[in-house]
Amino acid sequence: MAKLTLEIEEDYDFELIGICSHAKDYRLSWELNQRLRVDLIKDENLELTIKGERQSHSFFSFIDDENLIEYYLINNRSENGKLIPEEKRSDYFLLIRGVLREGQIGELIGEIATIKNILTTYEIEVEQLKSKDNLLF
């Protein structure tokens, strides 16, 4: 009998913005809510096991039903390691799912950069990340 192999190709249909900030997660969430006119709310922490280490990352979300866009603020650092180890300079990620208009990601980065507690912010190419599977939830 012939063996059949099922290959599942993951879909990374989201945009990712790296944020460097020394602000606490709740403070950054509040600042983003004010600047981007969203309503990020604290959810249960994102729990995963990476290289045998149990990690817990703070997690905020906002679903914009009107524009069909989802926003997630995720802390890159936990007591036991990083969510995306190759992104050492990022303290947080803003993950955005949905259809954005042309240039909207650049506008969001520009708005985020004006926040007082932000050191830097930049777009991350998800396909280039080795640990991109950690962002599938």
Q: Which of 5-9, 90-94, 125-129 has the lowest mean pLDDT?
A: 5-9
User: 36-59: per-residue pLDDT in tens?
Assistant: 999 999 999 999 887 788 899 999
Q: Give me the chain's average pLDDT, please.
A: 89
Q: What is the mean pLDDT of residues 62-76?
A: 94
**Tokens at 131, concatenated:** 């640990």
Q: What is the SS3 assignment for 96?
A: strand
pLDDT band at 129 (very low <50, low <70, confident <90, very high): confident
- Mean pLDDT value across residues 94-117: 92
Q: What residues does each domain of the chain span? A: 14-118
Q: Which CATH number fits domain 14-118: 3.30.310, 1.20.120, 3.40.50, 3.30.70?
A: 3.30.310
Residue 114 has a pLDDT of 95
**What's the average model confidence in pLDDT over 104-129?**
93
Query: What is the reported pLDDT for 51?
Result: 79
